[in-house]
Amino acid sequence: MQAPLQTQAYHKLMEWINSGKLKPGELYSELVVSRELRVSRTPIRTALQRLEADGLVVRLPQRGFYVYQFKKKDVEELFELRKALEGHAIEFICRHRDRIDVERFPKFIETQRKLVSQGSPDKYMKEDFAFHQSLIKTMRNKRMLALFSGLRQSMEVACLHLIATKREDRRKLTEEHEAVVAKIIEGNPIAAKEALFRHLDTVKKLVIESIRG
For residue 25, the Cα-to-chain-centroid distance in whole angstroms is 21
Contacts 24+ apart (CB under 8 A), 3-6: 4/43, 5/39, 5/40, 5/43, 6/42, 6/43, 6/46, 6/47, 6/50
181 and 112 in a common domain: yes
What is the phi/psi pair of residue 2, to 5°?
-75, 140
Domain boundary pick from 67, 83, 104: 67
Task: Check pLDDT > 60 for residue 21.
Answer: yes
The count of structural domains within the chain is 2
The pLDDT-based confidence of 194 (bands split at 50, 70, 90) is very high
The pLDDT-based confidence of 181 (bands split at 50, 70, 90) is very high
Domain residues for 49? 5-67
- Torsion angle in degrees (nearest 10) through CA of 99, 145, 92, 84: 170
pTM: 0.84
Domain boundary pick from 41, 67, 93: 67
What is the phi/psi pair of residue 20, to 5°?
90, 0
Q: Give residue-wise pLDDT tens across range 49-85.
A: 999 988 899 999 889 999 998 899 999 999 999 999 9
80 and 172 in a common domain: yes
203 and 143 in a common domain: yes
Q: Give residue-wise pLDDT tens across range 87-122.
A: 999 999 999 988 899 999 999 999 999 999 887 888
Domain boundary pick from 67, 84, 107: 67
Distance CA 113, CA 107 (A): 10
60 and 134 in a common domain: no
60 and 31 in a common domain: yes
